[in-house]
Amino acid sequence: MDVELIEIRNYLTEHPPFDQLPDGVLDILPRNLSVRYLRRGSNFPPDEEKNALWLLRTGAVEFRDPDGELMERLSEGEHFANPCSGASLIPRQIGKVIEDSLFYLLPCEIFSELRQQYPDFSNHFEQDLRSRLQHAIIQLQQRRGSGNSLMHVEAGTLIKRAPITIDPAQSIRQAAMLMSRERASSVLVVEQDNLVGILTDRDLRQRCVAAGVDVNHPLREIMTSDLQTLNIHAPAFEALIQMTRLHIHHMPVVDQQGKLKGIITASDILHQHNLNTVSLDSTIRHCQDVDGLVKASKQLPELQAQLISSGMNADQLTQALSAVTDGITKRLLQMAEKQLGPPPVPYAWLICGSQARREQTTVSDQDNALLLDDAFQPEHDAYFQSLARYVSDGLAQCGFVYCPGDAMATNPLWRQPRRVWRSYFNKWINTPEPKALMHSCIFFDMRALHGETGLFTQLQTQVLEQCRNNGIFLTNMAANALQYRPPLGFFRQFVLINDGEHDDTLDIKHRGVIPLVDLARVYALAAGISAINTRERLKAAEAAGVLSHDGTEDLLHALEFITTLRARHQARQHMEGLKMDNYLPPHSLTRPERSQLKDAFAIINSMQQAMKNRYQASGIA
């Protein structure tokens, strides 16, 4: 026997969230609907049918705010639930049917019964943008990742045995005997229950045997102090990132009270993950020539795809990739120095942009600069020019394309002593014209990677002090940060832009990531915050009181959702043998993803408004 009203049932099963309802409910639900047709130009919803959820079968509807500004457009398969969710919560909007439309109407009473009985269905209509987005992030995570990936495992579970510890007053020989007996490559040095250091095979070799230190000396002399530790509940990937960044192979793990629980080694992680950043990083550090680096960096896209499919989120991924890129850059600098000899004056190699923020993907380009000691003389420039050329060309060979805006140390403008950099920043801060602001975006996200990093710390401190509470500068930065606006959402196979224009693909970098990065930069500079990573900036801005708690949470969620979607898009491109990019075709997004992205865009938009009001920025064209 065939199902009655099969056309309507089919429509429901094909459109979220109705697809979440059980078959039995879908069989009877069509009988609870009614059908309405509205011509183009009709008001929506019409006065006489206020008490229903409207499902759009064919046609299109749009909403504008009382000033006539476009807010949203709905098309086939989308719905309008406002009449059923209490009008007070909804901003005033004026609806109009813009194409002849056929609707199915679900009475509000039945809709609320369904919501009570079916939570998966109900979640979709959650009024609160925040909880909706949180839910979306969880869904996005669940869709990827196997159970035993580094993402799902706590650092504590990788500990193989109780920690092997020794007192720092013991001799080097006693330490070596203990390590041999325990077949361990390291011992942890503990003094009065406090972890004070670590002694590894490498320390014994390099600092004792090779250096000719007497094995009867206390081991304190050759141990590594100033240790980085990891909480046992931290996700295991955190160990991966830290080890990559610090170039270490041993990571002590402590509990909540700081009590030592054990140690994780690079090989413990290797067992979890065949291709990983620690092993890639160590390959890079042992490369003897640029060709070796080029070969190693060819693995980056594959690594990105693997890490994402193993369940890493975008923040962790870009941290890991940035750490690897840091490693490649450092290695190139070492090779250059080896070839060119020692520098005539101290210098610091600066990295800018996404790599500096530790938000890099494999499609990023290179942004860098050279900060030279004030003892610099014009005749020294030949050396630094060659250094910059060597590194920049090397990076380009490794796949990091030259910066299209020429923000690289090969450009003499960005290869200057500290006093010149000071004058640059003075100019950017005191006379913020459009070009200066463009440079600000690059050079306010900067960190020293190699050389005399102290040169940079001084510069940064002065600059931050100057930016902070500088009204005119902040107003201009805020206006500049409004240059990229998120879209309103999607309409059919298009991206719907503010003025009702359409884009064929979603440029997720310029319409999602950059607006967030720019927002965080303005708030960070306003509060004199030295962090450059967007998440860290947002959290620090909250702590400094320039961003509200709710605003911060919203922005963090939007960032995570958008960047994770981007990373997944790139992983998918890689698996299909395509070049990775930042352009998401709307048809590749599921309907829930479209509406979740719309939520994220709405958050960015409202936070951009808040920033605009706070710094009275009017926006520049």
Partner 1 sequence: MLGTWGQNLWRKRQLTRLEDNPLREYYLRPFPSAAYDCRALEFVALDLETTGLDPKKDVILSIGFIKLHGMLIDLSSAQHHLLCPNREIPERSAVIHCITDDQAAEGKHIEDVLPQLLQQLSGRVMIAHYARVEMKFLDRACRQLYGGPFLIPVVDTQRIAKRALERRIQEIRFHDLRLAECRRRHGLPHYRMHNALSDALAAAELFLVQMAQFNCRKPVPLKYFL
Interacting residues with partner 1 (CB under 8 A):
2, 4-8, 11, 30-39, 42, 49, 57-59, 99-100, 102, 105
Give the SS3 label for residue 437: helix
Neighbours of 613 (CB within 10 A): 10
Residue with structure tokens 């941290």? 319
Between 39 and 419, CB nearer to partner 1: 39
Residue with structure tokens 């429509």? 11
Q: Which residues of 126-164 are buried (b: 16+ CB within 10 A; e: fewer)?
A: beebeebbbbbbeebbeebbeeebbbbbebbebbeeebb
Between 97 and 188, CB nearer to partner 1: 97
Taking the complex as a whole, the smallest distance from the CB of residue 148 to partner 1 amounts, in Å, to 47
Structure tokens of 331? 């290695």
Taking the complex as a whole, the smallest distance from the CB of residue 488 to partner 1 amounts, in Å, to 24
Whether the CB-CB separation of 440 and 396 falls below 8 Å is answered with no
Closest to 132 (Cα-Cα) out of 603, 608, 610: 603
Taking the complex as a whole, the smallest distance from the CB of residue 266 to partner 1 amounts, in Å, to 59
Taking the complex as a whole, the smallest distance from the CB of residue 141 to partner 1 amounts, in Å, to 36
Between 10 and 618, CB nearer to partner 1: 10
Structure tokens of 89? 């919560």
Whether the CB-CB separation of 353 and 364 falls below 8 Å is answered with yes
Taking the complex as a whole, the smallest distance from the CB of residue 359 to partner 1 amounts, in Å, to 45
Between 46 and 145, CB nearer to partner 1: 46
Neighbours of 565 (CB within 10 A): 23
Taking the complex as a whole, the smallest distance from the CB of residue 32 to partner 1 amounts, in Å, to 6
Taking the complex as a whole, the smallest distance from the CB of residue 94 to partner 1 amounts, in Å, to 17
Taking the complex as a whole, the smallest distance from the CB of residue 503 to partner 1 amounts, in Å, to 25
| Residues belonging to the chain | 621
Between 99 and 201, CB nearer to partner 1: 99
Between 31 and 233, CB nearer to partner 1: 31
Report helix angle 471-481 to 434-443, nearest 10: 80
- Assign 3-class secondary structure to 547-587: CCHHHHHHHHHHHHHHHHHHHHHHHHHHHCCCCCCCEECHH
Between 52 and 284, CB nearer to partner 1: 52
H/E segment holding residue 189:
strand 186-191
Between 44 and 473, CB nearer to partner 1: 44
Structure tokens of 194? 């406090």
Distance CA 235, CA 156 (A): 9
Between 104 and 523, CB nearer to partner 1: 104
H/E segment holding residue 521:
helix 514-526
* Cα dihedral: 362, 366, 367, 370 (round 10): 130
Taking the complex as a whole, the smallest distance from the CB of residue 495 to partner 1 amounts, in Å, to 23
